[in-house]
Amino acid sequence: MRTKIVAGNWKMHKNAEETEDLLNELINKLPNDKEVQIIVAPTFINLASAVEHLEFTNIGVAAQNMHQAENGAYTGEISADMLQSVGVNTVILGHSERRAYFGETDAIISFKVDTAIKHNMSVIFCFGEELKDRQDKQHFNIVENQLRDGLFHLDKTSWENIVLAYEPVWAIGTGETASPEQAQEMHEFIRETVRKSYGNDIADNVSILYGGSVKPDNAKEIFGKPDVDGGLIGGAALKADDFAAIINAI
Ligand code: PGA
């Protein structure tokens, strides 16, 4: 069954106290009667407290990144085992900010995916074209290659752990959203690309989230499209009222 998901990527926002405050607000304001999986991704140092805080709620916790190695001399990095040791079993991988500012290539991201799968973690796999790619009409090629290089070596069973998050880079944090039609066109293409390699079962069941300037006033239209199964929300996930409104738009 294709699951509806709304995930909030908090990026490098909210210290310990602010994290707790926002979590308390979310507990009070987010709906708990909807058929939607709700996830928040605070910063690494606040993950353990977030897991504790949200224990008896319907809100799950994800990490924004992790290292591909099991452990070792990788100063400043966090491993899958470390995440799991504090109760985090979902990780966002391949976010465009990781690709652009931290040099993460498709090969590195693919390695990270393998490590996460080995640990039976769920992966929210992010990908999407830049503005220039779209202007050059290369967006379908770019997206197909990111999918192939990052994920298409996986066996069929591993796909149970994969959620796709299409995030056109030109729409992230810019206030510029893909139109609902552009989102649907790409999501349909993504699903058909998965279908060609993995068949109907996986293509019909994989959740494909849209990310990039989703706000309360555009969420309903975007989520209304048949191949859009929810969203990965940045800026608007930092305000409890906005995040609640976006979830209610599903
Ligand atoms: P945005 O970020 O909603 O602020 O555009 C989305 C994301 O980067 O996941």
Instruction: Tell me whether residue 187 is one of the annotated catalytic residues.
Output: no
Catalytic entry in 53, 67, 95, 187? 95
8 lines ligand 1 (CB under 6 A): no
pLDDT in tens, 79-125: 999 999 999 999 999 999 999 999 999 999 999 999 999 999 999 99
DSSP 237: G
Q: What is the pLDDT of residues 18-36, one digit of tens each?
A: 999 999 999 999 988 899 9
Strand partners of residue 123: 91, 162
**Long-range CB contacts (within 8 A, 24+) of 20-24:** 20/49, 20/53, 22/238, 22/240, 23/50, 23/53, 23/54, 23/59, 24/53
pTM: 0.97
Q: Is 214 in the pocket of ligand 1 (CB under 6 A)?
A: yes
Ligand 1 atom showing the smallest separation from residue 174 Cα: 5
Residue nearest to ligand 1 atom 3, measured at CA: 234
Distance 35 CA to ligand 1 centre (A): 23
Residues forming beta bridges with residue 60, ordered by sequence position:
39
35 contacts 66 by C-beta, under 8 angstroms = no
CA gap 113, 175 in Å, rounded = 29
Alpha carbons within 13 A on the beta-carbon side of 49: 16
Each residue of 157-212: pLDDT tens digit? Answer: 999 999 999 999 998 888 888 899 999 999 999 999 999 999 999 999 999 999 99
